Structure 1
């Protein structure tokens, strides 16, 4: 049985409210850092942390919006997120602060470290990976990609990448992920791409649909909930972490 709690910390001149979930027992445990998408740290990503803890991973879902979410506020979300995506130093500072919190949890096995990033949070995970974070497994759901990805930036990365997107995603297209995968391959990095047919951007985000129910997401064009893609992507994430950094006793 896992235990979850909010963790308040300061970075980027904001008070962040992350979510830490731990398996029952003393460990040692593998660990996963979660980066939320541009909308904010919502119930879905908090629940991913809890589920991963149930599977035997200490998990910290970072916050990079100061405790805010931006459902139904696309302009406010972009005003916060786009300057951040244009500043690798800020992203790296936000990510490292969250990663330090995760690694300081008693019982964490630093040799079995993973990361899961959604949208803008995927870009923060990427900055950490090319900045030297020793991730054994990295899973990215429709990530924001670097504007100029060069093979030499990824030469020191040793973790295996899972890259997921929807076939109809206009913001993170399958072609963009395949191009990025080619860069990773040139750097000697293990990678694969999962494409979910008929899915748009943020296909997992049931909370963003009307009144939190399953259905079309009424925010911006190209964004929509897709139940099958959400389920299949999550199954792929669990399998990826299990294959690349198996929990203790597995």
Structure 2
């Protein structure tokens, strides 16, 4: 059985050399494509495996980097890098567009059928791509409901799906309300799924013993699988791939 192919891609963004993970499906034809954005600590094997799973479903997938190849195990170091980044939409857009350019430059990518999913700050980045009128067919964000600059959500051209844990202390109910109000005022096709009992980063399995996690962060296996299937269904809807393919993963 022929398997997917993967490779590392290096590209400049935010004054750094980013190291992304590109996964290609079987075949030589052009395929719909998906950006995968990581959470605050950075790109790791979890997002790389997500890109691989998407390639198995027939998508070209790029798990993009946000820290120039670094993965933070200390939350204070991570926050020192991420906090000013979250406060600067133009920097986030620069990181997102650099990754999108890499994905569009892949010969297997159908440039008119691209979606973007993101976890944590990766979700904030793909939302900023939408607010910057990027040519995306769908956006999915988990644990990220950042609001943008006034009026810019009107530039979002595609459905937006957002998922969050009901007990997430980092993405507060007030943030949820502000985000959904922004989407509604801009007449975006949006939906929000609140996963009962889940904390922040509920989608991410526990990592190595060298990582210190912030309070309010915790894995929820059932909801992690449900959220993945919800994202797969969104991609199938927006990129016109049969929905049942996602049920195998």
Q: TM-score, normalised by structure 2?
A: 0.91
1:187-202 pair list within 5 angstroms: 187-202=186-201
4+ residue runs of structure 1 moved beyond 6 angstroms?
A: none
Q: Is the 8 A contact 1:165 1:196 kept in 2?
A: yes
> Residue 191 of structure 2: SS of its match in structure 1?
strand
Give 2:153's aligned residue.
154
How far did 1:19 drift?
A: 0.3
Tell me which residue corresponds to 1:106.
107
Q: Partners in 1 of 2:201 and 2:124 — Cα distance?
A: 15
1:219 & 1:52 partners in 2: Cα distance?
A: 27
How far residue 173 of structure 1 moved from its aligned partner, in angstroms, is: 3.1
List per-residue Cα deviations over 1:149-188 (Å, max 9, x = no partner): 53x2121212101100000001113552243123212211
2:234 is matched with which residue?
240
Q: 1:46 to 1:36 in 2, by over 3 A?
A: same
Counterpart check, 1:70 vs 2:72: yes
* Structure 2 partner of 1:214: none
C-alpha deviation, 1:9, in angstroms: 1.7
Structure 1 residue runs without a partner (length 5+): 212-216
**Map of 1:47 onto structure 2:** 49
* Residue in 1 that maps onto 2:132: 131
Give the secondary structure class of the aligned counterpart of 1:126.
helix
Q: Cα distance 1:109–1:190, how it changes in 2: closer, same or farther (>3 A)?
A: same
Q: Is the 8 A contact 1:21 1:59 kept in 2?
A: yes
Query: 1:165–1:174: 8 Å Cα contact kept in structure 2?
Result: no
Counterparts of 1:1-250 in structure 2, within 5 Å, are 1-71=3-73, 73-143=74-144, 145-146=146-147, 150=150, 152-208=151-207, 210=209, 219-247=213-241
Q: Is the 8 A contact 2:133 2:157 kept in 1?
A: no
Shift of 1:206: 1.2
**Alpha carbons 1:166, 1:174 under 8 Å: kept:** no
User: d(CA) in 1 for partners of 2:162 and 2:26?
Assistant: 30
Cα distance in structure 1, aligned partners of 2:90 and 2:149: 16
Q: Quote the Cα distance in structure 1 between the aligned partners of 2:237 and 2:174.
A: 26
Give the match's secondary structure for 2:28: coil
> SS of the counterpart of 2:124?
helix
User: Which structure 2 residue ranges, 5 or more long, are not aligned?
Assistant: none
Report the aligned-residue RMSD: 2.0
* Partner secondary structure for residue 155 of structure 2: coil
Q: Normalised by the size of structure 1, how large is the TM-score? A: 0.91
